[in-house]
A and B are shown apart, each in its own frame.
Chain A
Amino acid sequence: MNTLQADLLKGLTDAQSAELLALGVRRQYPTGAELFPLGAAANSVFLIERGRVALTLPMQVQGRAEDVMVEERDGGQVVGWSGLIPPHRFTLKATAQLQTDAIVLEREVLLAHFEKHPEVGYLVTRNVASVTGQRLQIFQAMWLREMQRVIELRCP
């Protein structure tokens, strides 16, 4: 992963990025492994180094509960930002679609680092706001597109 391209590290110097990444724990997730389940307490943020993660929500399909993919994240992208945003609960389930390597950053460790380095805290928080804002806008547009179809079906 190129640290300059990582969502969470945009705007940070190489030294700041290296210092931040050193706070995390590198973990490997084989294909199909779960990074976090829906509804669990969110205490960490996951920075994907390589691989791909599917974010899913349960849906009833032909009478069966199935995890339906709503988003995909790959190298350089962040998942689990609920670890930094209250109420600190995962609102999706994350599963490795491929062999995935991620740096897991715990909230308490990150917050302590931000206390010492507010400029890093500001940039990371801005990056998290950018990720969450983009997701909100995308889902807003997706929701409106589906609503348009519902209206076209019901009131042709």
Chain B
Amino acid sequence: MEMFLMAVCMTLFGVAVSAMAFGAATSDVREEQALATLDSKLDVALASMPERFFARDTAPTINVPPPVVTVPRVPIEVLLAQIERHVRLEHAAAESFLYDPTVESLHSRTTSPLVH
């Protein structure tokens, strides 16, 4: 009798384990199916969105005019005088190079305001 009851218990236990394993196996397939469906929906949704980098759809577009940089304009007479002075100094520097042709004399500095 004891042996019979033990066999019945073992059988019931085996059936229960099998049922649990079957249930677990069938639920994974359903989850995978659900995830696959969700993925395909996401793909469709992403494909319909415009491509962008680090941009939000709701990013406000503000039309700000570029800052006005006020550079003091040199009077043309002053500029022409500076150019003339620059040419004279450069000419003198180049002439001195002819009399002493060295790297130092070729690249000697002048006091021209256009260079500094």
Q: Which residues of A contact B (CB under 8 A)?
A: 59, 61-62, 64, 66, 68-72, 134, 137-139, 141-142, 144-146, 148-149
Query: Do A142 and B94 contact each other (CB < 8 Å), given the known contacts A61-B83, A69-B84, A69-B87?
Result: yes
Interface residues of B in 18-77 (CB under 8 A from A): 73, 76
Cross-interface CB contact of B90 among A61, A66, A72, A145, cutoff 8 Å: A145
Residues on B with beta carbons closer than 8 Å to the beta carbon of A145: 90, 93-94, 106-107
For A59, the closest partner residue in chain B by CB is B83
A137-B98, A142-B94, A149-B115 given as contacts; is B80 within 8 A of A61 (CB)? yes
Please name 8 further chain A to chain B contacts, defined as beta carbons within 8 Å, in addition to the given A62-B79, A68-B87, sorted by A numbering: A72-B88, A137-B98, A138-B94, A141-B94, A141-B98, A141-B106, A144-B106, A145-B106
CA distance in complex: A19, B94 (Å): 35
Do the beta carbons of B76 and A61 come within 8 Å of each other?
yes
User: B73, A142: Cβ atoms under 8 Å?
Assistant: no
B98 cross-chain contacts in A, Cβ below 8 A: 134, 137-138, 141
- How many A-B residue contacts, CB cutoff 8 Å? 47
Query: Within the assembled complex, what's the spacing in Å between the Cα atoms of A64 and B83?
Result: 14
Q: Which residue of B lies closest to A139 (CB)?
A: B94
Q: Would you call A66 and B106 a contact (CB within 8 A)?
A: no
Q: Which of B80, B90, B107 contacts A68 (CB 8 A)?
A: B80
Q: How far is the CA of A149 from the CA of B91 in the complex (A)?
A: 16
Minimum Cβ distance to chain A for residue B26 (Å): 70
Query: Are A148 and B87 also in contact (CB < 8 A) when A61-B79, A137-B98 are?
Result: no
Complex CA gap A134/B99 in Å reads 11
Closest 4 pairs between A and B when the two form their complex, measured CB to CB? A141-B94, A138-B94, A142-B94, A141-B97
Chain B residues closer than 8 Å to A144, beta-carbon distance: 106
Q: Provide the bound-state CA to CA distance between A66 and B78, in Å.
A: 13
Residue of A nearest to B74 (CB): A62
Query: B88 — which chain A residues lie within 8 A by C-beta?
Result: 72
Contact B94 A64 (CB under 8 A): no
Interface CB pairs A-B, < 8 A, 17? A61-B79, A62-B73, A62-B76, A68-B80, A68-B87, A69-B87, A70-B87, A71-B91, A137-B94, A137-B98, A142-B90, A142-B93, A144-B106, A145-B93, A145-B94, A146-B90, A148-B107
